[in-house]
């Protein structure tokens, strides 16, 4: 399992359990989350990489190298609905950062076949899973997975079988920012400014606070526990992301409520909104 996604499954398990069952179940959820984190080795090669190493048994192998993520079955339909609205008339390229098992990307690629989809993940086991899902689905509009460090100053696009450096309609990032350092958030914004087309969009899914306030008690508990495990982690605030976006020539243009106290944030070039 890749570092970011291994942490994501334990974190997502706790977040959604609390969100669905309410405050009385928080203690049970936190204990479950803590138990999962006992398997974690903190000490990845620097804060710019996805942090943590977790194996809590949530990700399962279906066949060959295809891995199955429980979170995919809970959230893919609602995310796909938003992507259809945003990208239904587009025919360029989409890069996903932190593709994990690959299930989200192949599902979205099937739903939006005019777009070329580029999966990425820093962990080779997950890149194997992504490519295995693509082999199973045999989608003409999905390219081989690549290793992209979102916090890097240069994603080296347009080289060595990597995504192109132009004609990027969207960059997609699902459940990454709260279990990575702030450098990943900044790198994602910097790359979006550099690579997406003038009318392109950066699409970010996950739990977020708003102007210093968590949108649910469950998110507050989730955030506190993340920060206990790693002080570089935490539920990001939309106000902080908007400030950082503006510093990178982008604007946070829409905050879409999603199930289980999650949101989709949409960022676009600032010059579109004088």
Task: Summarize pLDDT for 119-133 with one digit per residue, the tens.
Answer: 999 999 999 999 999
pLDDT score of 10: 52
Alpha helices of the chain — where are they, by DSSP H?
Answer: 3-21, 26-37, 70-87, 103-111, 124-137, 182-195, 217-229, 238-247
Tell me which of 55-69, 71-85, 202-216, 257-271 is least confident.
55-69
The percent of residues above 90 in pLDDT, for the chain, comes to 74
Q: For residues 151-176, b (16+ Cβ closer than 10 Å) or e, as one string?
A: beeebebeeeebbeeeebbbbbbbbb
Res. 15 pLDDT band, cuts 50 70 90: low
The domain spans of the chain are 61-215+233-272
Question: Could you say which DSSP state residue 143 is in?
Answer: P
As a whole number of angstroms, the distance between CA 159 and CA 235 comes to: 34
Q: CATH: 3.40.50.1860, 3.10.20.30, 3.40.50.150, 3.30.2130.10. Which one for 61-215+233-272?
A: 3.40.50.150
Between 215 and 50, where is the model more confident? 215
pLDDT score of 274: 84
Q: Is-contact 218 15, C-beta < 8 A?
A: yes
Between 229 and 51, where is the model more confident? 229
What does the mean pLDDT of the chain come to? 84
The percent of residues above 70 in pLDDT, for the chain, comes to 78
Between 9 and 79, where is the model more confident? 79
pLDDT score of 28: 40
H helices then E strands: how many in the chain? 8, 11
pLDDT digits (tens, 9 = 90+) for 22-43: 444 444 444 344 333 323 322 2
List the 93-97 sheet strands across, edge first.
Answer: 116-119, 93-97, 168-174, 196-206, 262-269, 250-258
Token representation of residue 242: 């908007």
Token representation of residue 62: 């279906």
What is the average per-residue pLDDT within 227-249? Answer: 96
Q: For residues 219-258, b (16+ Cβ closer than 10 Å) or e, as one string?
A: bbbbbebbeebbebbbbbbbeebbebbeebebbbbeebeb
């Amino acid at each position: 399992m890749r570092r970011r996604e291994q942490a994501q499954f334990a974190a997502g398990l706790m977040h959604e359990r609390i969100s669905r069952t309410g405050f009385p179940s928080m203690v049970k959820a936190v204990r479950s989350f803590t138990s999962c984190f006992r398997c974690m080795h903190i000490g990845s090669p620097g804060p710019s990489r996805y942090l943590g190493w977790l194996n809590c048994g949530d990700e399962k192998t279906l066949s060959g190298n295809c891995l199955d993520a429980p979170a995919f079955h809970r959230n893919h339909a609602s995310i796909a609905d938003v992507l259809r609205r945003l990208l239904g008339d587009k025919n360029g390229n989409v890069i996903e950062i932190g593709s994990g098992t690959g299930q989200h990307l192949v599902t979205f690629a099937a739903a939006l076949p005019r777009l070329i989809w580029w999966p990425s993940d820093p962990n080779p086991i997950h890149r194997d899973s992504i490519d295995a899902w693509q082999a199973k689905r045999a989608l003409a509009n999905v390219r081989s997975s690549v290793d992209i460090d979102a916090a890097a100053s240069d994603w080296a696009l347009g080289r060595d079988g990597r995504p192109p450096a132009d004609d990027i309609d969207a960059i997609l990032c699902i459940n990454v920012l709260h279990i990575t350092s702030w450098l990943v958030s900044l790198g994602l914004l910097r790359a979006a400014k550099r690579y997406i087309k003038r009318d392109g969009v950066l699409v970010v899914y996950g739990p977020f606070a708003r102007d210093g306030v968590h949108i649910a008690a469950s998110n507050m508990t989730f955030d506190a526990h993340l920060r206990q495990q790693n002080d570089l982690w935490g539920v990001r605030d939309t106000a902080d992301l908007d400030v950082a976006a503006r510093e990178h020539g982008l604007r946070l243009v829409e905050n879409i409520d999603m199930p289980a106290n999650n949101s989709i944030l949409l960022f676009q070039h600032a010059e579109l909104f004088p």
